[in-house]
Structure 1
Amino acid sequence: MLLVIRMVRPGLNDSGEWLRSEVWKVTLALNLIPFAGVAFLWFIGVLRHRLGAAEDRLLATVFLGSGLLFVALLFVSASAIGAILVSYAVWPMELPRSSTFLLARSFAYHLTTTFALKMAGVFMLSASTIVLRTRIAPRRTAILGYAAALIILIGSQFMDWTFFAFPLWVLVVSMEILVDEFRNGTSKPT
């Protein structure tokens, strides 16, 4: 997704050169996004399974809602970027110089960096609170989640690299759960 964000970053100077030279990268990224969304939904399911009866209804609602909203916004953003690619295929000379191009790029960029990433930050905050309360993962995972969420919530509109905080945290949590299940030999809720 970082590649896509860099390509659609709004700016008046974008000549659309990336549409000619790097369209294959964007197309590849767009084709991988549904798989990432499904994997993330699976991750949510695994965490909810581990919570079992210890699930707090308020936190679970925020956790599940922000996770689902993140995936939905990610898919809408990818669709907007896909629309840019389709429009360029039809009007390769006119589109890069049009106000429609600027609008579509800005829409996709802000949808991703402002709204989808903010939902990722809310997801991380609620998941980290759940981790602290239920101890389904080590405390350090929750602390790392709080730190990464703050970075995303504050900096996602200004620094593209903040996008990495979310998948890295998901990877850490996943690894912690796998290690715990390997040690205990079970996948049942604690």
Structure 2
Amino acid sequence: MSDTVRALRTPRAAGAVGIAFAVLLGAAIVMVRVAIPEGQHYAASGGPLSGDSRHTVRTALGLIPFAGIFFLWFIGAVRAHVGDAEDRFLATVFQGSGLIFVATLFGAAACAGSLLATADAGAADGARLPQLWFFGGHFTYSLLTTYAMRMAAVFVLSASTVALRLGTFPRWLALLGYLVGLTLLFVVPGVAWAELVFPIWALVVSLHILVAGFRREAAARLDGRGGREDASTGR
């Protein structure tokens, strides 16, 4: 196996992991949105969450660590696809915003898990439970929508700018990234389900990286065969 083909397998495999990130994060968002409808509060539901809803949220929280791990691979996939020509300033913003997104996402998941544990243990102290639920719910929601998703917006915008300058992504994909980034910046905090645009964008980018990886590998194999044929014929 040539060094060129071997080198191309890393971004291709990481592109597949990017798809896994998109699926896991999208599934976690959907489960949380279904379990906790927009505007639900303690008094209306008779308690923080029903048993089925708590199980759904716990399942979603169990997906978050794996989504974050896969997202780190996705960062590597995009950088490998850009190559050595990447702008150092934008690359720093891109990587830094991605890492902060993962840290904030983990923080929101940890807060939500702690909130559920507190609610489970708070039956003996029902007087304080509503206040704890309101505080923890608002804190978790703010971490996710105000901070994590805006770091995701910076990540998408910087990646799209690099792609537009260097032509590493199709123009339509770079422009789609700008639209997604603006949505994450200004729309997500006030519109339910809008945060799904981020995993959808990651899914589209990962599919593009996979297809590009297959094409490069096929071209490298054809070049290798052509070189061997030339050597055998003495041309």
TM-score normalised to structure 1 length: 0.89
* Higher mean C-alpha deviation, range 129-138 or range 117-126: 129-138
Question: Matches of 2:74 and 2:81 in 1, distance apart?
Answer: 11
In structure 1, how many angstroms separate the alpha carbons of the residues matched to 2:111 and 2:178? 30
Corresponding position of 2:175? 143
Kindly state the Cα deviation for residue 148 of structure 1 after the two structures are TM-superposed.
1.0
Residue 212 of structure 2 corresponds to residue 180 of structure 1: yes
Taking only the aligned residue pairs, the percentage that are identical comes to: 42
Identify which of 65, 88, 103 aligns with 1:34. Answer: 65
Answering whether residue 81 of structure 2 is matched by residue 50 of structure 1, we say yes
Alignment root-mean-square deviation, CA: 2.2
Residue aligning to 2:145: 113
Corresponding residue for residue 187 of structure 2: 155
The aligned counterpart of 1:130 is: 162
For structure 1, list consecutive stretches of 5 or more residues without a partner in the other structure. none
Matched, 1:88 2:116: no
Larger Rg belongs to: 2
Q: Which amino acid aligns with 1:166?
A: F
CA contact (8 A) 1:87 1:95 kept: no
Which residue in the other structure is 1:4 paired with? 32
1:178 alignment partner, SS class: helix
Q: Which amino acid aligns with 2:165?
A: R
Moved more, 165-174 or 129-138: 129-138
CA contact (8 A) 1:81 1:108 kept: yes
Contact 1:117–1:156 (8 Å) recurs in 2:
yes
In structure 1, what residue type is equivalent to 2:71?
F
What corresponds to 2:229 in structure 1? none
2:55 corresponds in structure 1 to 24
Report the alpha carbon displacement of residue 8 of structure 1 after superposing the two structures with TM.
Answer: 8.3
The 2-side partners of 1:51 and 1:108 are apart by 34
Which residues of structure 2 form unaligned runs of 5+? 1-27, 221-235
Give 1:149 shift. Answer: 1.0
